[in-house]
Amino acid sequence: MSQENLRKESCRDELQYIGLRISYFRKMQNMTQAQLAEKVHISKNYLSHIESGSSNKAVSLPLLIEISKALDIPLSVLVDLEDFDQSRDKIRQQFDEIKIMFEEMKQLNADLDKMLAEMDKANLEP
């Protein structure tokens, strides 16, 4: 895999998050994709791909600046990844807690199976 492809791959989650933020701020201003796309001189289809994080193209800094101006929000707010990092860490922590609970449930299930087997054995003995 080329260096550029590796770089794109490593930024995919962040670009999806930025796309969600663009969509959020656009909707907060009751603006359609077509309206925002027209303001920043891109196609509605391309904006849709940016918002969904499915764009095969890297989103350029000049385009992000134009989008932030069109949405009348600072670029720093648009690309703020602090929430993303906190969300990712929180999701990872919750996943780890669920894994622990699942293991505890498996152990409890095994203990119950053992108890039931012992009860069955006791009921069969005269």
How does pLDDT run across 95-125, given as a tens digit for each residue?
Answer: 778 888 889 999 999 999 999 988 888 877 6
Residues 41 and 27 in one domain: yes
Return the amino acid letter for 29.
Answer: Q
Instruction: Give the residue from 80, 101, 116 where a domain finishes.
Output: 80
Q: Where in the sequence is the domain holding 66, given as residue range(s)?
A: 3-80
- pLDDT tens profile 48-102: 999 988 876 778 999 999 999 999 999 988 888 777 666 667 667 777 788 888 8
Residues 92 and 50 in one domain: no
- pLDDT tens profile 23-53: 999 999 999 999 999 999 999 999 999 998 8
Q: What angle do CA 58, 85, 37 make, to 5 degrees?
A: 35
Residues 13 and 54 in one domain: yes
Predicted pLDDT at 64: 95
Q: Residue 11 sits in a domain of what CATH number?
A: 1.10.260.40
pTM of the model: 0.61
Domain count, the chain: 2
